[in-house]
Every structure is written in structure tokens, then in C-alpha cells.
Amino acid sequence: MHKTFLKRFLGFLPAVIIFPFMLWKLSGNFETLFRQTIEINPWLLFASAVLLFGHFTISGLGWWVLLHFFGGDLPPYQAVRISALAMLGRYIPGKIWTVASKIYMAHAKGVAKKITYIASVYEFILFNLSGFFIFLLMEAITPSGIVYLKSLFVTFVFLVILLFWWPNGVIWFLNHTLRLTRQAPVEKSLKRLQIFCIFLYYSCAWLIAGLSFYLFVQGIVPGMVYSQLTGALALASIVGFAVLLAPGGLGIREGVIAALLILSGVATDMAVFVSLCSRIWSTGGEILIVFPLYLIKGSELSKTRSYIE
């Protein structure tokens, strides 16, 4: 009980600290910002929603391809639906729920747990690594002056080299664990070309997500730059993933987006406003698009917690 409370407290602590500070920064100029800058364009907001739906679908199909590489037999629609449902699990403190939900729901469809697990781990690695690449690419187009950019670039190169030098390292670790528990190992492996193709595929997914976010912001406050928003979104999402206890990167992601935009020369009040809009864009999109379209059997996600416990 105390551990659960502590995890939840630590998970929401960044949001409790960051959001009031951001709102305080915004409060002084919000009236001016609202009167002079905000221009609602419903067509751009609609286009953003369509692209966000496309991003969710493309991401789910990427996971389906990884399942297929490892021998998982699951229809594409089911894979996209499971991926979308599992994505809602990241709003529970601790990132285990996203993977656990996929394992539970895919197992109910006849996919072995170890196959779902290994595909989800590679999805996590490749999705975040491609996001890292998109951030560096956007940073090259419109530099923000972020500190330690060279260190970030060196880190990215090191991770890419490690992944392509030992493409089946995750499988090796999993099989070692399976042998210790006297279970059959995973017999499939990934080729470097397959990893490279999935990496490019997820990079395109990030570009689509960035375009969706850009159109959403343009539909509210015109004048922002696509490369600035896409790069900030990519890095902020990765940092949000890395902070395990923060549900959905709440507070962390908004803080990173605001900081990067300010470094890029965007006014503080505008940067804070855009970063808060990013939460409305992502969470609102997941609720308004993913939930009605994919949550046909709503009991599946709720069963995941009891499945783990």
C-alpha cells in the first residue's frame, strides 16, 4: 500500500511542480496572447486529427511487422487495436502496463507471451531510437542551441552502432532467461536489413506525428516552425518515456518542449502555451480517436492489472 502510494506520488510529482510554474509564467500574458495571437482554424485541427490517427495506425502496424518477424500470427487490424489500447496504459505510473497489456491481449489471440514481449522490446528500442534521429535531424535544420548537443549525437551514434553490431542482443538475453527457467527459447532472429527498414519506418511515423502536432498548433497559434515543433516533440517524448514513474511523461514532456522552444528563440509565454497544447493534442487525440475506434471490448485493458497481479 505504501509502495503504491509512493510510486504514484513520485509519478505525479513532476507535473505538480512543473505545471503550476508554467501556468504562472503564462498567466501574466495570457489575455494579450489570447486576443492578439490565438486564431482557431477548425480545418487545420481536423487535418491534425486525421494525421494523428494515421500515426497511431502506422505505429501499430510497425509492431505487427515485428510480431510477424518473430513468428507471431495476428491480423493487422487486431495488432493496431491492441497497440492502441495498450498505449492508454502508459498513463498508469510505471511503463510496464503498455507491454503487459500487449502481452495479455495478444496471448488471448493465440500469440506466445515471449513473442509479444520480444517484439514490444524491439518496438520500444527502435521507436525511441528513430525519434532520437528525428530530433537530431530537425536540430540540424533549425538549431536550438541546446547544451551538450554533441554528446547527444555521440550517444545516438553509439546506440546505432551497438544495435547493428549486435542486432539480436535482446533475444540473447531473453533466451538466457528462458533457459534458466527451462523454457523453449525464441528461435527467430532479426536481420540488420529488417532492423534498418523498421528504423526508417518509425522515423516516418515520427515525421507524421510532428506534422500532426504542427497543424494542431497552427490551428490555434499560427507562425510556428515545423522542424522546431517536431524536434521538440521527439526529444520530449523520449525523455517522457525514460522517466518510468511519470504517467505518460506528464509534466516532463511539457517542460522539455517549452525549454527547447525557448532555446530556439520562441517567446516564453508562447513556448509554454504550445507545450501545454501538446498535452491536449496527444491525450485528447488518444481519447477522442483511439478510444472510440478501438475500444470495442473494453474489458480487455481492465483485465491486464489482474493478469499481472
pLDDT, tens only, 82-130: 888 887 777 666 567 788 888 888 888 888 888 898 899 899 999 999 9
Q: Kindly indicate the confidence band of residue 229, based on its pLDDT and cuts at 50, 70 and 90.
A: very high
Q: How far is CA 92 from CA 87, 143, 248, 297, 307, in A?
A: 10, 34, 8, 20, 15
Q: Cα 21 to chain center, whole Å?
A: 24
Decide: residue 181, CB within 10 A, 0-12 exposed, 13-18 middle, 19+ buried.
exposed
In sequence order, the 6+-apart residues with CB closer than 8 A to the CB of 296 are 81
pLDDT at 305: 45
Of 47, 46, 26, 30, nearest to 38 by C-alpha is 30
Tell me how far apart the alpha carbons of residues 41 and 124 are, in angstroms, rounded to a whole number: 34
Position 248 pLDDT exceeds 70: no
pLDDT, tens only, 13-57: 555 566 566 666 666 666 666 666 778 889 999 999 999 989 988
Place of cell 509534466: 251
Q: Kindly indicate the confidence band of residue 247, based on its pLDDT and cuts at 50, 70 and 90.
A: low
Of 201, 200, 263, nearest to 231 by C-alpha is 263
Tell me how far apart the alpha carbons of residues 138 and 228 are, in angstroms, rounded to a whole number: 7
Decide: residue 11, CB within 10 A, 0-12 exposed, 13-18 middle, 19+ buried.
buried
Extended beta strands in the chain, E state: none
Position 159 pLDDT exceeds 70: yes
* DSSP codes of every residue in 196-253: HHHHHHHHHHHHHHHHHHHHHHHTTSTT--HHHHHHHHHHHHHHHHHSTTSGGGTTHH
For the chain, the helix, strand and coil percentages under 3-state DSSP, each to the nearest 5: 80, 0, 20
